[in-house]
A and B are shown apart, each in its own frame.
Chain A
């Protein structure tokens, strides 16, 4: 709301020079409406009330009484009234005596200076009196007062100056910064305010100079040297430095011969003044007006302070020798001042290298040579190289030479590219071919490379036993005893060589599988007929058989037949190899006129035939081979170009000892006499203990039967037949009681007739497809398949003989 104004209050009244004065008041509350202020005064006890003559000069809310209105020795009674529309309010009266309110302004233009006189330094302060509006009244006499203190301190030192406007301060500390203020007063009244601060620093030339220090002395070429010193921290005004030295063994003191050549604060000793192998005692003296100071002595033997300049003329050369990788040769020259030619100074060099973006330098010590060959830089990269040197004895390393950049051009040799392109194309071609063949014949290829191992599938045979059992168990299960052949089997051992005239021949005992070599051919031979050959073993039979196969054989004649024929001993063994389905056919061929008797029949000892099983259980085929030791008959195996079981002809017992060993060893390799399932493998398959043998060619998948020398129709591709075998084979239908082979009824009989043709076919096949491994050959099957149980647990194929008749 609006109300009458608040009560104003007179703040102060003041006079600057006794002739005028001003009063200021502070307004009260506003009251909300514009307020007018009026100052009324009266003098002494007069009753006249006057109004302020001048509201403006001294600012707002002030009243200025000029000379005309100011009477000294008069008391003024001053009131301020505030007035607005609503009401008014007046302040308390103030009695003012003009003389008592005098306070001048502060002095101005304070300046400070330091001066020296009589070797003393003092501070000279100057100022001016406060300005007055009325310049005419300069007759005022002010008294002044000065105060100063060091900048960091708190306490002021006050000095009464008097009426002068300057003052000289002594007793000041050198090097200290002082703060100075001044104020004034009239003869009556109060002191003015202090003037603004002024600061000044007292220079330290007051004291003698600080001690200089010698930094270092160096010789760049071992003929002259220079020393540098550093002045003391308090650098006063002109300080003179002198360098003095003495030499070892001398008493005289010399002064530096040259202060200029090497720059300020240095001393250069030229050749004349440089002596080696003498110690210099060097000191530096600093002198100024206040005194002098001397540094600590510095002992120097020039020989040990050599620090050369960096090497110069760093050049790079790229050398490209023939037949070798290009390399870089870096050469440089010793610094120009160093006298290396006379041998006075010998320098060693060291260079450092880093790739441009790298962090760490690689430092290489080069020795005294001035070149370096770099072989190991990567083409295309940028390198920075620097060299420095040092005397070879005592001394320090120079500065590094300026950076030199190396960039090896990338040699993008066309030849390399071509090689890579060719390699890439070839490998991709090969990959393509391989994948294509895989696609087409994947399965067969795999089987070719890693033929699955056939397992025996004999009905009645404990497959588990086969899997886990040892050969003995297995064979005992089948009724074989004494397998592998022991020493007394020697006689029984029939080794037979399968002789082939192709490169695939293997010599069984002497080679491992897959080594084609010539085999001695099995020569069917009419051997002693005392052996109890089975009917099927009769040579005639065999010969008949062989005839069929002869056509097959015709293509296969070994050269060695004749040899073999002569040599052959009584034992032959032959094996048939059953190979995985795709693979070979075992051909046992009765070669020539000689027919081999069925060895089984000839076993004198009636030993149980040895059965050879494939060692692996899953052999699909099992070839049983029994070697008939004493049998003369030679089973000539038809050689084919393909794999044949290689057999050795054991000519006679003695001769065959060795072979026996081999065979034995071979047989040892397999738990049973193994027909290796590997292609191309004519595993030696010797079962020396053969009495009668049943050659099992194949166990057909469908029937867990052991196919004994079964000539089957060629229609089944997976049959191995030994064409031309004149042996009678019986297909075993089952094995009973683990030791009885049950032969199949004579389903094969009808094959016999057919056998001829297949034989023919096979022969033709043979002839045609020699390279083909997947041929199967048919063997004439024994005409009779008989079930036969034998106390000795072997099959007597002789029972089948009639079929061949």
Chain B
């Protein structure tokens, strides 16, 4: 996976130990890393049946919205300058790598990373707002 290079906590304890901001950054980084590959995927795979295609588009939109939502809720304005450059630089190589992946790998990596993001977000949520079903 193109995101394998990122250092992400691999377990509950590690995830809980990380301070909030770092975790948030991590989440955003992950989300950012998938923006381009997803759009590329959608572009290159026009031959898919319509419902799959629409689903894929829907997912990329969701990723985008999720990123925006996290940014907003965490009070982060945008990718902010420090993040931007690194993500830009990393983004290119990452997207190159992503292009080389096979479809099944692509999906597998995406599934895993989305699971990661979900778990981190949940931990964040229960840290910030413990009363709601936590």
1/0 per residue B1-16: CB within 8 Å of A? 0001000101111011
Q: Which residues of chain B from 12 to 27 have any CB-CB distance to chain A below 8 Å in the complex?
A: 12-13, 15-16
A249 to B124, CA, bound (A): 28
Establish whether residues A249 and B4, one from each chain, have CB atoms under 8 Å apart when the complex forms: yes
A276 close to B134 (CB less than 8 A): no
Instruction: Find chain A residues with CB under 8 A from B130 CB.
Output: 341
Asked if B112 is at the interface of the complex by the 8 Å CB criterion, the answer is: yes
Docked complex: A335-380 residues within 8 A CB-CB of B = 339-344, 346, 368-369
Within 8 Å CB of A339, what residues of B?
12
In the complex, the answer to whether A342 meets B134 with C-beta atoms within 8 Å is yes
Shortest CB distance B101–A (Å): 15
A278 to B16, CA, bound (A): 19
CB <8 Å contact, B126 and A276: no
A343 touches B123 (CB 8 A): yes
Size class of the contact patch on chain B: 20 to 34
Asked if B118 contacts A303 (CB within 8 A), the reply is no
In the complex, are the beta carbons of A344 and B15 less than 8 A apart?
yes
A277, CB-defined interface residue at 8 Å: yes
| Docked CA distance A277–B116 (Å) | 8
Q: Does A618 contact B (CB under 8 A)?
A: no
Query: A270-309, CB under 8 A of B: which get 1 and which 0?
Result: 0100111110000000000000000000000101000000
**Is residue A222 contacting chain B, with contact meaning CB distance below 8 A?**
yes
Q: Does A140 contact B (CB under 8 A)?
A: no
- B40 interface contact, C-beta 8 A: no
Say yes or no: B112 contacts A342, CB within 8 Å: no
- Min C-beta distance of A786 to chain B, whole Å: 100
Do the beta carbons of A342 and B16 come within 8 Å of each other? yes
Residues from chain A with a CB closer than 8 A to the CB of B8 are 277
Minimum Cβ distance to chain B for residue A33 (Å):
104
Assess the B10–A275 pair: CB atoms within 8 A: yes
CA distance A222 to B112 in the complex (A): 15
CB-CB contacts below 8 Å: A198-224 with B: 222-223
Q: Write the chain B residue with the least CB distance to A221.
A: B12
- Interface contact B134-A344, CB-CB below 8 Å: no
Q: How far is the CB of A368 from the nearest CB of chain B, in Å? A: 6
B115/A303 in contact, CB under 8 A: yes
Nearest neighbor of A272 in chain B, beta-carbon distance: B11
Evaluate contact between B126 and A277: CB separation under 8 angstroms.
no
In the complex, which residue of chain B has the Cβ closest to the Cβ of A274? Answer: B11
Residues from chain B with a CB closer than 8 A to the CB of A343 are: 122-127, 134
Known contacts A274-B11, A368-B133; is-contact A346 B4 (Cβ 8 Å): no
A340, B12: Cβ atoms closer than 8 Å: no
Give every chain B residue within 8 A of A301 (Cβ-Cβ). 112
* In the complex, per-residue mask of B73-113: 1 if CB is within 8 Å of any chain A CB, else 0: 00000000000000000000000000000000000000010
B4 neighbours in A (Cβ, 8 Å)? 249
| Nearest CB in chain B to that of A275: its residue | B10
Within 8 Å CB of B118, what residues of A? 393
Report B-chain residues with C-beta under 8 Å of the C-beta of A223.
11-12
The answer to whether the Cβ of B119 comes within 8 Å of any Cβ in the partner chain is yes
Task: Give the number of residues in A that approach B within 8 Å (Cβ atoms).
Answer: 22
Residue of B nearest to A248 (CB): B4
**Do A344 and B12 touch (CB < 8 A)?**
yes
Determine if A344 and B133 form an interchain contact, defined as CB atoms under 8 angstroms apart. no
Cβ–Cβ < 8 Å partners of A444 in chain B: none
Q: How far is the CB of B83 from chain A (nearest CB, A)?
A: 22
- When distances are taken between beta carbons in the complex, the residues of chain B under 8 Å from A369 are 133
C-alpha spacing A274/B12, complex, angstroms = 10
A303 nearest in chain B by CB position: B115
Smallest distance from the beta carbon of B11 to chain A beta carbons, Å? Answer: 6
Q: B12, A222: Cβ atoms under 8 Å?
A: yes
Main SS of chain A's interface residues? loop
Q: How far is the CA of A449 from the CA of B4 in the complex (A)?
A: 94
B residues less than 8 Å from A275 (CB atoms): 10-11
| Contact present for A344 and B10 (CB under 8 Å) | no
A394 close to chain B: CB less than 8 A: yes
Residues in A whose Cβ lies below 8 Å from that of B127: 342-343
A394 to B13, CA, bound (A): 21
Contacts of A340 in B (CB 8 A): 133-134
- Complex Cα gap A369–B132 (Å): 10
Q: A277-B115, A301-B112, A394-B115 are in contact. Are A341 and B134 (CB under 8 A)?
A: yes
B residues near A346, Cβ cutoff 8 Å = 122, 133
Please indicate which of the listed interface residues B4, B8, B12 has the most CB atoms of chain A within 10 Å of its own CB: B12
Q: Is the beta-carbon distance between B12 and A342 smaller than 8 angstroms? A: yes
Do A342 and B13 have beta carbons less than 8 Å apart?
A: no
Q: Which of A311-347 contact B (CB under 8 A)?
A: 339-344, 346
Q: Least Cβ distance of B73 to chain A in Å?
A: 15
Chain A residues closer than 8 Å to B122, beta-carbon distance: 343-344, 346
How far apart sit A277 and B114, CA to CA, in the bound complex (Å)?
11
Which residues of B have CB within 8 Å of A276?
10-11, 119
Residues of A within 8 A of B125 (CB): 343
Asked if B123 and A342 sit within 8 Å, CB to CB, the answer is: yes
Residue of A nearest to B128 (CB): A343
Nearest Cβ on chain A to B113's Cβ, whole angstroms: 8
Q: CB distance B123 to A344 under 8 Å?
A: yes
Collect the chain A residues with CB atoms within 8 Å of residue B124's CB.
343
Tell me, rounded to whole Å, the shortest Cβ–Cβ distance linking A274 to chain B: 7
Q: A344 near B119 (CB under 8 angstroms)?
A: yes
Interface members, chain A 431-465 (any B CB < 8 Å): none
Quote the shortest CB–CB distance from B80 to chain A (angstroms): 26
Q: Which residues of A contact B112 (CB under 8 A)?
A: 277, 301, 303
Give the complex CA separation of A371 and B38 in angstroms. 40
Q: What sequence of 0s and 1s flags, for each residue 38-77 of chain B, a beta carbon within 8 Å of any chain A beta carbon?
A: 0000000000000000000000000000000000000000
Q: Of residues A222, A271, A277, which shows the largest number of chain B Cβ atoms within 10 Å of its Cβ?
A: A277
Bound together, the chains give a CA A343 to CA B128 distance in angstroms of 11
Query: Shortest CB–CB separation between residue B66 and chain A, in angstroms?
Result: 15
A346 to B125, CA, bound (A): 12
Smallest Cβ-Cβ distance to A347: which chain B residue? B133
Q: A340 to B10, alpha carbons, bound, how many Å?
A: 18
Q: Which residues of A contact B (CB under 8 A)?
A: 222-223, 249, 271, 274-278, 301, 303, 339-344, 346, 368-369, 393-394
Given contacts A275-B11, A344-B119, 14 further A-B contacts (CB under 8 A): A222-B12, A223-B12, A271-B11, A274-B11, A277-B115, A342-B123, A342-B126, A342-B134, A343-B125, A343-B127, A344-B122, A346-B122, A369-B133, A393-B115
A-B CB contact pairs (8 Å), 13 listed: A271-B13, A275-B10, A277-B10, A277-B116, A341-B126, A342-B12, A342-B16, A342-B123, A343-B125, A343-B126, A343-B127, A346-B133, A394-B115
